[in-house]
Amino acid sequence: MVGLLLLWASLLVVGGLLVGTPLWVFCRHFYLVDIPADISHPKKLRFYHCIFELLMTWGLLLERLHICSMGQFVRFIHDLEPLKKDPDVVVTDLRFGTIPVKLYQPRNSSSTLRRGVVFYHGGGGFFGSLNTHHDICLLLCKESDSVVLSIGYRKMPEFKFPVVTNDCFAATVYFLRSLNMFGVDPGQVVVCGDSVGGGVSVVLCQQLLDCPQLPRIRAQVVIYPSLHGLDFQSPSNQQNNVPMLPRHVVARCYLCYLNIDPSWKKDMISGANLPPEIREKYRKWLGHDNIPERFKQRGYRPKPVMPLNDAAYRETRLVLDIGMSPLVAEDKVMSQMPEALIVSCEYDYLLDHSLLYKKRLEDLGVPVTWCHVDDGFHGVLVTVSKGFLHFPCSRKIMDAIVDFIKGL
């Protein structure tokens, strides 16, 4: 009898997870989420956002039941999607040491060495995988006639800062030392990434400056990158609490990645975790005066910085590490960055990271090509081959990347 009761109780719990949770998530998010009027296909974005929130909610429930972490669950579901094939591209799964990678090579032979693209996928360090960005790499390989290497770094919550950049650095160095094996021109290697992967691209360009024995990176492609954790009151932070990167997701990613207790979240957002001298030091690079006025028209208001909380500074000082905030590297480093394509989206919480990086490079004489998508949002590129969930602006981004690479 007791066993039967436990069985019924288990069925009720599972039923609640499978039926009740989707109803709650869709009722909460489908009509209440803020979708800017200028975004095309708003209903599609509402649906896409609800799927994302549902997977996170299921994952958090499983995490609290000590079954698996939220990140593990979301990645597991994402990786259930079958991978597309293209007769013109050969895809090979490899390991560089312990790091899984996917190699994409044009099937047709070439009498000359090809360009090489090292790709670091996004996902905030929680989400994303070699599979979620497979379509992007497949298109990139085929349309730019390049050898593409996608790196599958370790993720949170099990692996925190600086594991992501360490894994990507190790795999990139392995690739750079083996270019002849893959038919890649040593003078035509490009690093490319979206979101946290865009930040990794910048960090690695800076770190590889200390490796003169390796081929020099020819160019960088940074797609709505995450480039610092020092200011959460910038114009885009205030104006863009929209899918697919709402504020609560940003906070969770930063805090978990740096192993910072969530109790310090308020101090980080208000700026109370940074001493006045540090804020003043970086004002020349991060000051909101560096953001063009056209990106401040949807509700931005300058806010006073709260007084310093010494305890918060001690607990959160990892945000000052250049591996976490490459945007504030010194001029002598930033001036040596390779030519860049910077992709930004109007409705992105991290938009100002792209705008500030663009200005820093241009001020130092580094060539920059800028692609800004007026109806874009964070993460939109992954929809480029998603059928019903495809957003037209993702194709604009892909075309810009391909044209930039082919023009090098």
Q: Give me the active site residues, please.
A: 195, 348, 378
My answer on whether omega of the bond before 186 falls inside 30° of 0, hence cis, is: no
Which residue from 381, 372, 366, 338 is spatially nearest to 354, judged by alpha carbons?
A: 372
- Decide if 369 contacts 341 (C-beta within 8 A): yes
Cα–Cα separations (whole angstroms), residue 392 to 182, 381, 399: 33, 10, 11
Q: Where are the alpha helices (DSSP H) in 208-275?
A: 235-239, 247-257, 265-270
Rg of the chain, C-alpha, whole Å: 22
- Could you tell me if 107 and 87 are in contact, meaning their C-beta atoms sit under 8 angstroms apart? yes
User: In degrees to the nearest 10, what's the CA dihedral of 49, 53, 54, 60?
Assistant: 170
Those residues whose C-beta lies under 8 Å from the C-beta of residue 268, and which sit 6 or more positions away, are 229, 232, 254, 255, 260, 312, 316, 319
Separation in Å, CA 100 to CA 80, 154, 190: 18, 9, 19
Beta-strand ranges (E) seen in 79-209 are: 89-96, 99-106, 114-120, 147-151, 184-194
CA 244/CA 85 separation, integer angstroms: 27
Give the separation between CA 270 and CA 375, rounded to whole angstroms.
29
Cα 312 to chain centroid, rounded: 26
Residues 6+ apart with CB under 8 A from 249: 56, 124
For residues 35 and 242, the answer to whether their CB atoms sit within 8 Å is yes
